[in-house]
Structure 1
């Protein structure tokens, strides 16, 4: 295949990827966005295979075999994965992108002639060494950081990985997999020192083509990926997942330069830039410093522990909530991670249908960082076939809480905390929250009075018009539906 035809094919694939990003920006067009992405990837793969120089039948067989194995694994995982575990799946896939970048860079370093990156004397081109070095560093950080992010979301290592951990390291690994931040002494000084050593090793690799320096640089990049993510708590996991998505894109772009593949460069740049923009938007939504998060919580202070003191709450039953809901004119449902854990999205759909039949106007309010990744709640509601036109983002619906008769909150602690608006000493002060406290009545579904990921008390629990509904979100919602229907 000629270079010009390949370039046109890659351009068409790039257009499909741009359309995919555009489609994925809205739940209503997300299916079309996925189809565009699949079409673009198919075109990119076909063009790459046809453009391979001097490839024999054995090479094609190995590539097809790899695609078949990877495609089959992806199909099985996609069919079996629970929607509640989607954040973990995204983190795991990011880790594979990073590891692939490391492997490709290592292959190019060991066999530069096969990649066409050598000078006339057989040495590796200096610019290529820089490109593969940066791709290796970013890829290694992406891999190890994504593994830790997976562990913090899943609260355990990937299947089979635990058996590979030596016994004396298992307590440390278990701590790293906790959603609680791990604050090592002088962690910032350690990270800065390791970062400087990595840069020096990159210079050494570029100047001398030292294999030892390349290996040390890679190992330290793996290490700093772990050190950057373990100090970040579960509350910031949505930003971390988005940030690692950006890293995986830049790693792919860096390796694209090494492979001299424009499609990989364009795709990596699209993923990297969109992930960085999304991370920045989410940091603003959480009142977090963008650089603080990407540097491993640099400059953060510990959150204050929840303190209920002598405060009392009003505890109610499903029957109490059902009576008020069916006599309401407007109900706003606020889903949070509690809905995901209980897998209550289908029960929530039943509640929506039941109240709508009674003539009640029902809407859904989505906070940008509800759940454990961007769009987590949107995905769950879409799985339950809840109409897109009743699902609203925070800025679209926040001013409607004042006219709502009922706000039904399902395990959304920190994103409904009014202290973010009034308490200057609160760790979440300044974070935009849903104005649930303005509704005439608030029903808050929780298993217990435990604090959310921010680890702080929520004054909303103790308001006169708030009724706590203690129990599993799915069972509680089902009981409310039965009471309304009965």
Structure 2
């Protein structure tokens, strides 16, 4: 008997066991990634699961073109390692969105390849799988590309608004479903192509009207969509491992999207089909009344914090933009050494993607025990001496509680305004990503420190080192 054939038969006979082991490891991956303390272990579980899945599938493939598969894997690994080493933390949100687009594109490519290379009619369930897998993949692809451009402030990814947007979205959606139904009945290739094109256009127009303040939810939802697209690929290929992995990603992304919407006190439908587009910008625009604010220096801030008992630091996108996390860690350690109780307050939608601030602080090795979520720390603000806000705007905006006319009214916020003294580091007095002004900046207790986050924090550190208590 041919030894190679025997080996292949053995792998085929035990493939379900390998896939089961991989599935369990993927579940342990999600469990590990649920906490910063176990995230590294979770990543290792995920790497092991993916290795098992790839190797098993490789040996199960019928007549694989080895040079093409291995070449693509090597090229992908090289690009991945290069991006992992070179991408800046400020570019991480758009990088995540771009990775989602590749999953969607893969789903479309596999669906098209399956349809084009078939020599027989597909069963009813197979046509449904191809239809769903292809249109979810196409929507994920174009929506993720737009999110990439939006998060990266690309000129071609401009938010669109107007009364024509929703009718166009409806027309594209109906056309996509109609062409999918046409394919289902007739297996017409022109219908399949048309469905794919309409799905790509719908994905773009679906995300284009959504304002910047809602982009963290969009990134989370696209993560979910990429998972369902992968699961669709699994059904098309008959690969149970891909179905399980895609379903885990899809469901976890959907749950995270729900959690983030709850943190904003908004429904998912409102985010996706309402949003904070031009309405937010108009509502947050200047009403013409003169506004004055108290300006301060980094030296003033350093002196106040070194003489405080309790300090809460609220990080926002400004910390990522200024790459200030390591300077913030140094400030944190210095204040701790002088007996100040220092903690970090994290809002669920701070930054440009889910967990953005947690990732930055973890990169700087800030102890997890001093990084608290909104629900854990909000009640402590009234008894806090100093709050230092670094580039955050919308997540500390009191309009969410006090102004029924504000687009973010009802959204839970970090109640920094209740602290004894508030200090805010911002590059300028411009509005935040959602286009809303913040009344907190004009309170008597608030001191605005305009400048680059990293430079300002470093100056605070020098002041504390030089002056002490």
**TM-score normalised to the size of structure 2?**
0.94
The offset of 1:73, in angstroms, is 0.8
For 1:125 and 1:297, the matched residues in 2 are separated by 40
Out of 60, 77, 84, the residue aligned to residue 51 of structure 1 is 60
For 1:190 and 1:484, the matched residues in 2 are separated by 57
State whether residues 242 and 275 of structure 1, in contact with CA within 8 Å, keep that contact through their aligned partners in structure 2: yes
Out of 24, 31, 34, the residue aligned to residue 15 of structure 1 is 24
2:342 matched to 1:362?
A: yes
The offset of 1:300, in angstroms, is 9.2
For 2:273 and 2:311, the matched residues in 1 are separated by 41
State whether residues 243 and 294 of structure 1, in contact with CA within 8 Å, keep that contact through their aligned partners in structure 2: no
Moved over 6 A (4+): none
Match of 2:96 in 1: 90
For 2:383 and 2:29, the matched residues in 1 are separated by 37
The offset of 1:400, in angstroms, is 1.1
What stretches of structure 2 of length at least 5 have no aligned partner? Answer: 1-8
The offset of 1:358, in angstroms, is 1.0
What stretches of structure 1 of length at least 5 have no aligned partner? Answer: 114-121, 157-173
Match of 1:279 in 2: 257
CA RMSD, 1 decimal: 1.6
Out of 120, 126, 129, the residue aligned to residue 128 of structure 1 is 126
State whether residues 408 and 443 of structure 1, in contact with CA within 8 Å, keep that contact through their aligned partners in structure 2: yes
Secondary structure class of the residue paired with 2:424:
strand
For 2:303 and 2:278, the matched residues in 1 are separated by 45
**What is the correspondence of 1:33-44 to structure 2 with a 5 Å cutoff?**
33-44=42-53
State whether residues 32 and 43 of structure 2, in contact with CA within 8 Å, keep that contact through their aligned partners in structure 1: yes
For 1:328 and 1:47, the matched residues in 2 are separated by 59
Secondary structure class of the residue paired with 1:433:
coil
The offset of 1:408, in angstroms, is 0.3
Out of 75, 81, 93, the residue aligned to residue 87 of structure 2 is 81
For 1:112 and 1:256, the matched residues in 2 are separated by 17
For 2:275 and 2:423, the matched residues in 1 are separated by 34
Match of 1:148 in 2: 146
Number of equivalent positions: 455
2:434 matched to 1:425?
A: no
For 1:262 and 1:223, the matched residues in 2 are separated by 30
457-466 or 214-223: bigger deviation: 457-466
2:64 matched to 1:63?
A: no
Secondary structure class of the residue paired with 1:402:
helix
For 1:233 and 1:427, the matched residues in 2 are separated by 11
State whether residues 148 and 230 of structure 1, in contact with CA within 8 Å, keep that contact through their aligned partners in structure 2: yes
Match of 2:465 in 1: 485
2:164 matched to 1:186?
A: yes
For 2:277 and 2:457, the matched residues in 1 are separated by 41
The offset of 1:37, in angstroms, is 0.9
Secondary structure class of the residue paired with 1:112:
coil
The offset of 1:447, in angstroms, is 1.3
Out of 267, 280, 298, the residue aligned to residue 289 of structure 1 is 267
Out of 419, 442, 446, the residue aligned to residue 422 of structure 2 is 442
2:32 matched to 1:26?
A: no
The offset of 1:297, in angstroms, is 3.9
Secondary structure class of the residue paired with 1:444:
strand
